[in-house]
Structure 1
Amino acid sequence: MTMPSWGDVDKRGDLLFPIRMQTRPRFVVWLDRIMRIVQIDFSTAQKLVFFAAVYTVYVASMVTTASFLGVSANYFVFVPMFVAAGLFGFGGGLVFGALALPSNYLIYTLLGLSDAAPESLVIAWISGIVTGGVLGYFGDFYRRLQAAVDLNQDLLRELHHRVKNNLGIIIGLTEHQIMDCPEPTAMRALTRIKRRVFAIAAIHDRLYSHTDDTDTRYARDASTYIAELVGHLRVSMTVEPPAIKFVVDAEQLDLGTDDLVNIGLVINEFVMNAMEHAFSGVTDPTITIRLARNDGVRELTLSDNGVGLPDGFSIDKIRTLGFALMRSLAEKSGARFDVRSPGEHGVGLDVVLRWPS
Structure 2
Amino acid sequence: MLNTMIDDMNETEKIRFSSERFIVLHLDRFLRNLHTSRSSFNKLLMIGISLIIYSLVIMLFGNRLKISANYFIIIPLIAVSFSCGFKGGILMGILALPMNLLMFRLLGHPEYAPESKLIAEITGITIGTILGYLSDYYYEIEVEIERRRTAERKLRQSVNEKEILIHEVHHRVKNNLNIVKSLIQLQINRSIDQNFIGEAEKLIRRIYSISRVHEQLYKGNKIATPSLSEYLPQLVEDILSGIGEGRLLVDYRIDVPLTELSIEQATSLGLIVNEVLTNAVKYSLPLVEIPKLEIVLRIEGQETIIELKNNAPTFLPGRDEYNGLGLKLIKTLCDQLGAKYEYLPGNGTTFRLSLLL
TM-score tier after normalising by the smaller chain length: 0.5 to 0.7
Equivalent residue number for residue 216 of structure 1: 224
Stretches of structure 2 that go unaligned for 5 or more consecutive residues are 2-14, 54-71, 83-126
Equivalent residue number for residue 184 of structure 1: 194
Q: Aligned match of 2:37 in 55, 72, 95?
A: 95
Stretches of structure 1 that go unaligned for 5 or more consecutive residues are 1-25, 27-59, 67-72, 85-91
CA contact (8 A) 1:94 1:136 kept: no
Change (3 A) 1:260 1:77: farther
Deviation of the 1:94 alpha carbon: 2.5
2: distance between equivalents of 1:281 and 1:351? 18
Equivalent residue number for residue 209 of structure 2: 199
2: distance between equivalents of 1:137 and 1:62? 31
- Structure 1 residue 141 corresponds to structure 2 residue 151: yes
2: distance between equivalents of 1:208 and 1:74? 44
Deviation of the 1:352 alpha carbon: 1.4
CA contact (8 A) 2:342 2:353 kept: yes
Write 1 or 2 for the structure with the bigger share of helix.
Answer: 2
1: distance between equivalents of 2:185 and 2:31? 62
Deviation of the 1:191 alpha carbon: 1.0
Deviation of the 1:79 alpha carbon: 6.5
- Structure 1 residue 284 corresponds to structure 2 residue 290: yes
Deviation of the 1:268 alpha carbon: 0.6
1: distance between equivalents of 2:153 and 2:284? 58
Q: Aligned match of 1:255 in 253, 256, 261?
A: 261
Change (3 A) 1:126 1:175: same
Change (3 A) 1:210 1:290: farther
- Structure 1 residue 268 corresponds to structure 2 residue 210: no
SS in 2 for 1:279: helix
Read off the aligned partner of 1:274 and give its amino acid letter. Answer: A
Read off the aligned partner of 1:258 and give its amino acid letter. Answer: E
- Structure 1 residue 302 corresponds to structure 2 residue 299: no
Larger Rg: 2
Deviation of the 1:314 alpha carbon: 4.5
2: distance between equivalents of 1:206 and 1:129? 48
Deviation of the 1:125 alpha carbon: 1.9
Deviation of the 1:306 alpha carbon: 0.8
Identity of aligned residues (%): 19
Q: Aligned match of 1:65 in 4, 7, 20?
A: 20
Read off the aligned partner of 2:242 and give its amino acid letter. Answer: S
SS in 2 for 1:253: coil
- 1:268-304 CA deviation, whole Å, 9 max, x = no partner? 1111111111123312211222223332212221211
- Structure 1 residue 330 corresponds to structure 2 residue 334: yes
- Structure 1 residue 168 corresponds to structure 2 residue 161: no
Query: Normalising to structure 2: TM-score of the pair?
Result: 0.63
Deviation of the 1:211 alpha carbon: 5.7
1: distance between equivalents of 2:170 and 2:181? 16
Query: Normalising to structure 1: TM-score of the pair?
Result: 0.63
SS in 2 for 1:341: strand
Read off the aligned partner of 1:260 and give its amino acid letter. Answer: A
Equivalent residue number for residue 348 of structure 1: 348
2: distance between equivalents of 1:81 and 1:297? 56
> More relative contact order in 1 or in 2 (CA 8 Å, sep 6+)?
1
Read off the aligned partner of 1:127 and give its amino acid letter. Answer: Y
2: distance between equivalents of 1:138 and 1:185? 64
Size of the aligned set, in residue pairs, is: 261
- 1:250-276 CA deviation, whole Å, 9 max, x = no partner? 433101111111111111111111111
Q: Aligned match of 2:131 in 121, 128, 134?
A: 121
2: distance between equivalents of 1:286 and 1:93? 74
1: distance between equivalents of 2:143 and 2:348? 69
Change (3 A) 1:248 1:78: farther
Read off the aligned partner of 1:320 and give its amino acid letter. Answer: G
Read off the aligned partner of 1:299 and give its amino acid letter. Answer: I
CA contact (8 A) 2:218 2:224 kept: no
SS in 2 for 1:309: coil
- 1:148-190 CA deviation, whole Å, 9 max, x = no partner? 2122112211111111111010111122222223233222211
- 1:116-151 CA deviation, whole Å, 9 max, x = no partner? x99743233223211211111001111111122122
2: distance between equivalents of 1:332 and 1:211? 31
Equivalent residue number for residue 56 of structure 1: none
Change (3 A) 1:180 1:318: closer
Q: Aligned match of 1:225 in 227, 231, 235?
A: 231
Read off the aligned partner of 1:216 and give its amino acid letter. Answer: A
Equivalent residue number for residue 37 of structure 1: none
Read off the aligned partner of 2:148 and give its amino acid letter. Answer: F
